[in-house]
A and B are shown apart, each in its own frame.
Chain A
Amino acid sequence: MIAPGALFWWALLAVTWALSTWSFQLYKALDARWIIRFPKGWQIDFEGWISAAMKWLLEDATFGLFTFQDLTRFVSSLIELPYDLARAALADGFITGLGSNAVQIAPPLGWVAVTALMMLLALYARGWGLAVLVGACFVYLAVFGQWDSAMVTLASVVIAVPIGVLGGLALGIACYRLAWVERSLRPVLDLMQTVPIFAYLVPILFLFGFGPVSALVATVIYAMPPMVRVATVALQSVPPEVVEAGHMAGCTRRQMMWKVLVPSAAPTLMVGVNQVIMLSLNMVIIASMIGAGGLGFDVLSALRRLDIGGGIEAGLAIVVIAIALDRVSQAFARRLPDAAPDRGAGPLQRHPYITAALAVVVATYLLGLALPALQDFPDRLTLTTSAFWEEAMRWINVTFFDTLDAIKSAFLTYLLLPVKRFFTGIPWAWGILATGLAAARIGGWRLGLMAAVMAGLIACVGLWDKAMTTVYLCGVSVLIAYAIGVPLGIWAGQRAGAHAWVGAFIDTLQTLPSFVYLIPVVMLFRVGDFSAMIAVVLYALAPAVRYAAHGVRSVDPQMIEAGLVAGCTPRQLLWRIKLPLAAPSLLLGLNQTIMLAISMLVITALVGTRDLGQEVYIALTKANVGQGIVAGLAVAFIAIVADRVISAMAAKSRERLGLT
């Protein structure tokens, strides 16, 4: 028996499968080649238009007194100033004069000073436990010889994060105050988050010039959207009583925002800050491709000479910075306000932390003059595990290659290739229709129309085949990531001990640059779809685990109590109560898994896939603005359709459970 509701889905699948299998025969029988290939004559030349528009923007656009490029260059000089300062303080030292005439006025902060300052910050935010963790992270950087690069990276994070946070907050406030801003900004934010960074790197280079500033701009574009979203939600969810109290106290509009709304939303806002920090660190590698230098560059150049150990050490340095900054920012989010300082106390007592920080800087500077080891960590004391990793990799390669090869072949034959054949066989016209029908069935006709239009646009620019390869690769990867991640998350969600370990593991996976494991994966599985799939699965695993754990943990304890009273076995408890109630959270996890899988696409192009990621990458290497943006938008469309469809499913499931 098939339920009438399910009939639609079976019919849709059957038709799609039949068309996909016999599309070639159909084309031969009807002599209609348009069935399998989108006719060249119908293609719309968005690529050319975008390239032309870009050229105009660069060469001719003017506001009368100054050109568009003058404007962007002015912005870039505004960003460059604080960046140079941060870099001087952390990495290069303060220098006057040029080249051979350069004279150092003051050295950068030494490793002891930076470590002590970070520990002080942690102490202020939480306490000694956190301070020790942060201290250990920074000592790792010094001991493993990553210090100089790490400080260059830290300098760019120190600049990118405030810009991202303040910009995000400003836009969030605008969204909060004006409904139309929120409506019109939402699609822009979607695009900022889903268009692969490679797609807009070239225009950014053109506009903001070469060097670290462009990298910073790209980082901010990528890292800011969550801040805008979080800020909007945080302001909207300030309790009405608080707002009311503000009104009664006679607040002006400005006072209302800065003295009432923002402070009460502060804990939620810190979640946004945390996201900005993490995403900025995710960008480290890509930023280094356009001149940011630092750890990202070290990872890339280590892997180019196949120094896997060097890549891992530099990659772990990024993880370590991420962990330190993440924990500190989370501690700030949960921090209770200080007791008001005693009015009678002097400035030293009122600002103990600032005083201590100044003391650290002065003391380490003076001591550094006498003991250079406090300024620069001595080279001969640095450690490296490079040889160990190299040997380990060789051993795995020689011992297990054949076994792994057999596993890979099985995966390819029974999973990857059939799915690939199915997706790439779907004739474009039916593909557009089927996407529309499926989306409409789940989320109403508006969603259906939007999905069909987006699919149609992809076909119109001649990227249908590559888009289908993308869907296949992401689809399979998401399936596997979800199949591994959800059980892991459920397990971790039920055991507090496991939770900490699993959490640390997925944090590492998410912040470790994918390049670090991409090269070993290629060594073991050769270039091709399977290697790409593994890289995507590793990266996209985190949200599947995190949301499953969150979903299981946040099930209402009364429901569990009720289950226990009714005599449920642990298994029944899980399957009958916890999982159904966690469904919305699981769907949200699925959504995020898909988003991350799609954002990994461009990276997979580096191991030789033939999807939209490759298209974007080719555009980057040829500096073709139009091609890159068109392919980037195609990726964004796939992501947006997936996001909307799954959000609609999650909304339905919440409704069914009465959780709204």
Chain B
Amino acid sequence: MKHIAMSAALAALATAPALAEVESQDPIRLTTHDWTGQIVNATILQDVLEKAGYNTELVQADYIAQFAGLKTGDLHVAVEMWETTGREAMDEAVATGNVVNMGEGGLVAIEEWWYPSYMEDRCPGLPNWEALKDCASEFATSETAPMGRYLGGPVTWGGFDEERVEALGLDFEVVHAGTDAALFAELESAYQREAPIILWVYTPHWASVKYDGKFIEFPPYSKECYEDPAASVNPDATYDCAKPSGPIWKVAWAGVEEKWPGAAEIIRNYTLTNEEMSAMVSAVDLDGKSIEAVAEEWMAANEEKVDGWIN
């Protein structure tokens, strides 16, 4: 048996010439969540680390609950912690000293009110937000009439949409979906019927590839706008502007640096762009390719970049 293991190890060495001696053979555990983009992201980082000779394992874990594991060292790396939804939990974990922020992952999260393009005929002036003032009733449903219906994300996402509606004087009622699956189920349904809808969409996500539509252009976001009523268009209210966009961070268990210093370096270097991510997500979710295949294609196309991170 030992003999077989040896020869397999030799075979692995032969096929990967740039292999450096790694600090520990223990597998580095990368977490995966339940959305495609994140799994693609984790799979690519896994491929990169394996190319450098590390052993890795993908472990499925809840997006927020995973911090419990990252603190104790049960889990090691989380590749996507969104500024917009995970900041609070991340700061809390980093404050304990057991979790470290490994820097930006290159992706930028955009979250905003979004409408399908066919609504431009019914509500001229879009994507400018002021158009919404005149055609809120176009977005009404029987439950919200005469107010328009805006479908917000789950309450846990925050987002200050109730405040935004008030501050900008929009005749909309904010309805919260419970999960993002419910959110996009409504979009799919409305899109099939070309029915009016305006809702919270975020990128990178397959929805912005699959459906033709645009984000609303609110007055630009600034920190002051959220904190100081005087800033932005409404002098008496805060939140009278767009939502902030934010980086997507990489986080890791603090012990990674000691146990696998080389891997920690690679994780810090590793980045993807929004365009790459959107293309890969639609290849998986819309064209039905496997995540592994998409990750391999990316690895093949970006060999130089990967080698640069490793060395």
Contact = CB atoms under 8 A, between A and B. Distances in A.
Interface of A: 96-103, 105, 201-202, 205-206, 209-211, 288-293, 297, 300-301, 303-307, 394, 397-398, 401, 405, 409, 412, 515, 518-520, 522-524, 526-528, 604-609, 614, 617-618, 620-623
A437 to B, nearest CB: 35
Contacts of A297: 34, 60
Contacts of A620: 62, 65
Contact of A210 (B26, B55, B59, B63): B59
B68 A623 contact: yes
Contacts of A303: 181
Please name the 6 residue pairs, one residue from A and one from B, whose CB atoms are nearest each other, closest first: A99-B55, A523-B189, A210-B69, A608-B178, A606-B178, A522-B185
A394 B194 CA distance: 12
B151 interface: yes
Contacts of A617: 156, 178
B285 interface: yes
A27 B6 CA distance: 80
Interface in B234-272: none
A523 B68 contact: no
Given A291-B59, A405-B142, 8 more contacts: A96-B1, A99-B50, A100-B12, A209-B74, A289-B34, A306-B188, A523-B189, A609-B178
B182 A608 contact: yes
B25 interface: yes
A609 B62 CA distance: 21
Interface string B1-41: 10011001100100000000000011100000011100000
B9 to A, nearest CB: 5
12 contacts: A98-B25, A99-B54, A99-B55, A103-B5, A210-B68, A211-B74, A523-B188, A526-B189, A608-B176, A618-B155, A623-B64, A623-B65
Contact of A622 (B141, B156, B178): B156
A209 B88 CA distance: 22
A621 B142 CA distance: 32
Interface in B100-148: 141-143
Contact of A606 (B68, B182, B285): B182
Contact of A103 (B8, B62, B67, B69): B8
A412 B189 contact: no
A418 to B, nearest CB: 15
Q: How large is the interface on B (under 10, 10 to 19, 20 to 34, 35 or more residues)?
A: 35 or more
B189 A397 contact: yes
Q: Which of A209, A405, A608 has the most CB of B within 10 A?
A: A608
Contacts of B26: 98
B206 interface: yes
Nearest to B4: A103
A409 to B, nearest CB: 5
A101 B61 CA distance: 25
Contacts of A205: 65, 68-69
Contacts of B156: 617-618, 621-622
Contacts of A528: 143, 175
Contacts of B1: 96, 103, 105
A348 to B, nearest CB: 31
B94 interface: no
Contacts of A301: 34-36
A202 B68 CA distance: 9
A246 to B, nearest CB: 49
Contact of B55 (A96, A101, A401, A609): A101
Contacts of B181: 303-304, 306, 515, 519, 606
Contacts of B223: none
A520 B178 CA distance: 15
Contacts of A289: 34, 62
Contacts of B273: none
Interface in B33-92: 34-36, 50, 53-57, 59-69, 72, 74-75, 88-89
Interface in B188-210: 188-189, 192-193, 195, 206
Contact of B177 (A99, A202, A515, A607): A607
B154 interface: yes
Contacts of B75: 210
A210 B74 contact: yes
A606 B35 CA distance: 16
Nearest to A203: B68
A266 to B, nearest CB: 38
A397 B192 contact: yes
A524 B189 contact: yes
B27 A98 contact: yes
Contact of B8 (A97, A206, A397): A97
A526 B55 contact: no
Contacts of A608: 154, 175-178, 182
Nearest to A531: B182
Q: Which of A102, A201, A291, A293 has the most CB of B within 10 A?
A: A291
B162 interface: no
A153 to B, nearest CB: 13
Nearest to A519: B185
Contacts of B63: 621
Interface in B168-182: 175-182
B175 A210 contact: no
Given A98-B27, A608-B175, A523 B185 contact: yes
Nearest to B285: A305
Given A608-B176, A608-B177, A614-B178, A100 B69 contact: no
A210 B77 CA distance: 13
B8 to A, nearest CB: 5
B112 to A, nearest CB: 19
